[in-house]
Structure 1
Amino acid sequence: MSKRAALEVIALGPEDAVAAQAGGADRLELVTDMAADGLTPSVETFAGIRAAVDISLRVMLRRADGFAAGDVDALVRLAGELRTAGADEFVLGFLDEHGGPDLPAVERIVAELDGCRWTFHRAIDRAADRDALRKQLADLPGLDAYLTAGAASGVDEGLPTLVAEAARRGEPGYEPRIMVGGGLRLDHVPRLRAAGVDAFHIGGAARPGGWSAPVDVAAVARWRRALDEPA
């Protein structure tokens, strides 16, 4: 029997979190301000969600729209405050002006995480060289996933890249799990599963009513059923 595919759902607050868990989510990505494509939520929001559900939570570390790190001291402080509040999984990813990984920023933040597991998010889809980025990040402690659509525009364009990268799983730089998200639809799932992709991330797809509406249990459950079909 193939391993159950992981389903991660974006949660903005406790109501979202409860609905996502009820629908079958394995993990939540905690953010605020989706108009800026997801920023770090408050410690209070994290604590409220942590009290509401018992599944894994990955907290976004990002202070402004775009892929520049900005004030790294502030990000390190935020990470420390969240760690103190009990957060133990994170999401981050920053590029420099040349489209490579901003290693000084990422390394400082990862040092503050002190071994916590983390996802490098869709900044990889804006990188000048995806393969080079993976190899530059390969030795960082805790990195266990890339959230990627395969292309900046989304999964429709990125599908061939995702399939090719899935085939390289286990090579240097390709050990972290591929978690597909960004314009992901249910009709993409069979090809991705056949390629060996076993982790999926949804945001808007869990909210038929749009970002102003909460996560819908039935929408998450539809994804759970689709991912539980034999690959």
Structure 2
Amino acid sequence: MNEHLATTRAMADATVADAEQESREAAALVAALEERVRDGDDTVTPKEIATARELGHFAKLRADATARKAADAKRTARLAALTELRADIDAYTETTDTDQLIDNIFDALLAYTQHFTAHNERVNQWRTRMAELGVPKIMGPDLVSADDAHLGINGRELYAGRTVYNPVDHKGRLAYHLTELGTAMNIVAAHIGGPREEQALASARERTDRVKASARSGVRTMNGPIV
């Protein structure tokens, strides 16, 4: 709760409680005086009772006035708190740009596609140059020769020493990667802010790491020395 609103409510309630207590005490005084008369106390005068009754009535009026002022103060403080809340909501709405977030996702996917398109073009250009220069077709990187600058061709794969290059089917792979990343985000969304948040993040990162490994498959280095 808004601190100012809570303070205002507490002070208003305390003021009303004090005024009501004063009114009750004044009414109790009248009742006590009247009871003394009933008990035969001749020292109590009509004027004393009338004065006490008037004071009691006045105390009741003051209590009513205090209650109304307290209610007004509470309403004013509540409206101020609501106005502050509304300003906070409006500010959040104004500064949250979901369109930009969507654009960022699109730009990232576009960069992803452009990356693999450029990779495939580069690998295909290398294959053409290798073929033009008579680089032999071999069965694996273990068979590259110093006479061919340790280059070799094996179908879609190209060898440069122990490194293997091949085109990537990024169109088909994009769907797989998006599915995996979407699943990772669903895992996080299901547990964010909960007791299993840390485990969910770890699971999502593992899935993301698998996507990274899959995306790197266009270039991989084999173990072992170059013969």
Using structure 1 for the length normalisation, give the TM-score.
Answer: 0.19
Q: Which has the higher contact order (CA 8 A, sep 6+)?
A: 1
Structure with the larger helix share: 2
Using structure 2 for the length normalisation, give the TM-score.
Answer: 0.19
Structure with the larger strand share: 1
Question: Bigger radius of gyration, 1 or 2?
Answer: 2
